[in-house]
Each structure stands twice: as C-alpha cells, then as structure tokens.
Amino acid sequence: MRGSFKIGGIHPAPNKTASRTIEILPLPMRASLPLSQHIGAPSKAIVSKGDKVKRGQLIAENSSFVSAGLHAPISGTVAGVEDIKMPWGKTSKAIIIAASEDEHRADSEERERYWRDLIPHICDRTLSERLTADEIRSKILQAGIVGLGGATFPSHVKLAIKPEQKPELLIINACECEPYLMCDDALMCTYPGRIAEGVELMMKAGGIPRAVIAMEDNKPEAAAAISEALQSSENISLRILKTKYPQGGEKQLVEAVTGRRIASGDLPLSVGVVVNNVATAFAVWQAVSTSQALIERVITVTGDISGGERKNYMVAIGTPLSSLPLTLPGEALAIVGGPMMGRSAVCLDAPVMKGTSGLTVLERPQRRQALACVRCGACVDACPMGLEPYLLSTYGRLRMWDEARENDVLDCLECGACSYSCPSNRPILDYIKVAKQRAKL
C-alpha cells in the first residue's frame, strides 16, 4: 500500500491541466530583482545606477550566512536600486536592469543555445565524484540557489551539515501536492537525468549516504522518467506516495517516507533527514555542471483560462508577471502560486521571483457569508499537524496571542486545509495567520 502521513489531510480537485512540456519564455527588456526574495537576510546590492552588467553576473551578495546572492537575468544597464511594488501590494527594494536591443538579442541567442544543447536524459555519475563536498557547496553558494518548493531557504546553508549530525537520508520532494501547479512534474518529465545528477551532488555536499525521490501517484509520466534515470543508481530510489494534500509539507513528507514524526519546533535533521525540492536539485546540477546561477526557473501558468494557455514556462527571474502569455478573464483572481497556499496578486507588474512556482487564474468567487461555527470538528480532522484550528482561530480573532502560542500556533503550516473543510465558510486560516505572526513577537 502506498504510504502517506497519518494525521489529517484533504483531497481537493487536482486540476492538473497544464501541458507537461516546457516552453522558453522570451527574456524581458527590463527586469526587477527584489533584494529580499528568500528566507533570511536580504542580499546586499553591489551595483549602482548606471553600471553595466552581464547576464549571470553577481549584482547583490549575501549579507549574512543565511542569505543568498542575486544575479543579473539579463545584460544591460542598472536603471536604479529603488522600491517596487510586490505582487501583494507591499514595496521592496529592488535592482532594476534595462537592456538595449543589441544586448537583448545577444542574450536571447546565447540562452537559446544553452537550452538547445542541454541533453535531458544523460546522467553523468562521475560529476559528484570529481568534486569535494566543499567545492559543491561553494558552487551552490556562488549561484545563489534557494529552495524552489516555496520556502526559499538558502541551499548552501541547508547542506552545511555538521559531521556529528550525520543525516541518514536525503528526501527529494517531488510531490507537488498543490492543485493546478505542474512545474515540477514538467521538469521531471523533461530533465530526469539531470535531476538525478543534482541529487547525487546534494548527497555529496551534505555527506548523506542515500536519497529517496518521493512523488505522489498522480504523476505516472514523471515517475516513469525518473525511474529510468535511476536504473544504474544504487543509493537513490523512487518512492510513490498516495495523493493527499499537503503531502509535500516537510513534516508530512518525512513521516510518509520514514514513519518518523518530527517534534514541535524541530527540523527534519532531528530525525536524520534532509529535505529538498526536486527543482532545487535541477538548479544545483545547473550551477555545478554548467556554472549557471539561479537566474531563471520553471513556472506554471494555469487556471480558468483557455486550454492552450495552460503551460509551463522557463522564465527569467525579474520578468514582470504581466509578461506571462495569458488572457485574464474580466473578473479574474490572479494567485501567485497555487490556490491553497498562494497569495492573491494585486499588482501584475511585479516580478517573477526565485520562489514563484506559478500563476493561477481563477474566476473570482462570490464571497460566501461566514456562518456560526457548528462544532463539527471538520477542521480538526483535516489539520495535518494535529492542531485545533477552530481554537487557534478564535484566539487570533480575540487577540489572545499568548494563548495561541501555548497551543502551538507556530506549528501551523498555513496549508489551508482547515478553511477548505469548514462547512460554515469561516475564515479560520486568516485569523490563525494573524495569531501566528503576533506569537512570533
């Protein structure tokens, strides 16, 4: 029987309707690069207005150990380091780069050659053997790689593991349990051999003896491609899991694969496990093998739009969301990410960032009236962390921050399973998010 986590979970309609091919979206003429687009300290700009930069050049460096560098996705002139609007309306300091026609043409031709010459299915097992762990981590650091599954934790930090911690297992999160999104699915179907190489490199960098690529059973094409790429591997295996949301949650995934539960406030390393996203493994391979920094990523454009527009694109970081090829319905709701954990976008001139996994367009639903709690316990049954969402939500509504903290509000994944399951349409997660933010203070 295919495994899963034991507590809670829901089964929203998957709506995996995008094409599994990856199209290369043209480079933008103007790119905006927020300095804060990962967990940790924002990167520090090392360029100024008027400076000329080349595609792939470092333009902002780490400002602390838990930070990640930023690289130019296009060649051009720095137009400024200024505040820009983020998708959800807040402002953030960003480096703006503007390209000339000649620079844009040269970059586009070089990029086209790069992707054309990339052989997707070859897996060079000797790549990790030729480099030391320190050399691999250094290349990951220099490339500005962060986790691409949503958390955007700097990858060089996650793989800087102390010898005494001795992790037993690297779990590659290929579940992609969020409805609509298919960027990881498409990446596995297209570049399975390169992903396998990336996993080998991560194992070497972290001193981890074996790895499991964990995938939900709704991705048969990706499973077949990865399985073939792993035929000659003795220390990497594929594990197919039951489709259930949020299977891709770090603690849920560790339990599904190993049977071990991570205690409140602990990390996977406490049970001998390191978790990384499958797209991060591909980015690691790119950095080590081709010296390409994290300047572009695959994102899914999908939702209530015409079938021909539901696609996966390789998109340069800094590209305006408004440049993505789709026709927005009149009263559409644009969500950066998926419908469960994504955030509504109020500004589509904002840029694609390292953690942007997709743009989901939905018909704007009629706001349903929130009714009184009927004490059915559906939110408790759905919570994958075994919390009491109705209680935490009440604490948030009544501003009882200490009580929320004492009842483990900080363990909330913000997965939305509670609100999804509530028959009274109560904004359970909204109040929990407020309580969680205040409980951190």
Strand order in the sheet with 76-85: 30-34, 91-98, 76-85, 52-53
Quick check: bond before 246 cis, omega within 30? yes
Band (pLDDT 50/70/90 cuts) for residue 123 is low
Using the predicted structure, report yes or no on whether residue 168 has a pLDDT greater than 90. yes
- Predicted local distance difference test score (pLDDT) of residue 124: 65
Q: How far is CA 178 from CA 149, 341, 363, in A?
A: 11, 8, 18
- Predicted local distance difference test score (pLDDT) of residue 100: 98
Mean pLDDT lowest for which of 192-196, 326-330, 335-339? Answer: 326-330
Q: What is the mean pLDDT of residues 24-31?
A: 97
- Predicted local distance difference test score (pLDDT) of residue 423: 95
- Predicted local distance difference test score (pLDDT) of residue 330: 74
Question: pTM of the entire structure?
Answer: 0.95
Q: What is the mean pLDDT of residues 26-51?
A: 96
Q: What is the mean pLDDT of residues 265-293?
A: 95
SS (H, E, C) the chain: CCECCCCCCECCCCCCCCCCCEEECCCCCEEEEECCCCCCCCCEECCCCCCEECCCCEEEECCCCCCCCEECCCCEEEEEEEEEECCCCCEEEEEEEECCHHHHHHHHHHHHHHHHHCCCCCCCCHHHHCCCHHHHHHHHHHCCCECCCCCCCEHHHHCCCCHHHCCCEEEEECCCCCCCCCHHHHHHHHCHHHHHHHHHHHHHHHCCCEEEEEEECCCHHHHHHHHHHCCCCCCEEEEEECCCECCCCHHHHHHHHHCCCCCCCCCHHHHCEEEEEHHHHHHHHHHHHHCCCCCEEEEEEEECCCHHHCEEEEEECCCEHHHCCCCCCCCEEEEECCCCCCEECCCCCCECCCCCCEEEEEECCCCCCCCCCCCCCHHHHHCCCCCCHHHHHHHHHCCCHHHHHHCCHHHCCCCCHHHHHCCCCCCHHHHHHHHHHHHCC
Band (pLDDT 50/70/90 cuts) for residue 153 is very high
Instruction: Report the distance separating Cα 289 and Cα 282, nearest Å.
Output: 10
Q: What is the mean pLDDT of residues 228-241?
A: 93
Q: Within the chain, what is the greatest distance between any pair of CA atoms?
A: 64
- Predicted local distance difference test score (pLDDT) of residue 1: 46
Query: Residues 73, 316: contact at Cβ < 8 Å?
Result: yes
Residue pLDDT, tens place only, 196-216:
999 999 999 999 999 999 999
Band (pLDDT 50/70/90 cuts) for residue 375 is very high
Q: What is the mean pLDDT of the chain?
A: 94
Percent of the chain with pLDDT over 90: 85
Q: How many CB atoms lie within 10 A of CB 50?
A: 9
Instruction: Report the distance separating Cα 335 and Cα 305, nearest Å.
Output: 13
Q: What is the mean pLDDT of residues 64-90?
A: 95
57: exposed, middle or buried (C-beta count within 10 Å: 0-12, 13-18, 19+)?
A: middle
Query: Residues 396, 432: contact at Cβ < 8 Å?
Result: yes
Residue pLDDT, tens place only, 225-234:
999 999 988 8
- Predicted local distance difference test score (pLDDT) of residue 441: 82
- Predicted local distance difference test score (pLDDT) of residue 121: 57
Residue pLDDT, tens place only, 351-364:
999 999 999 999 87
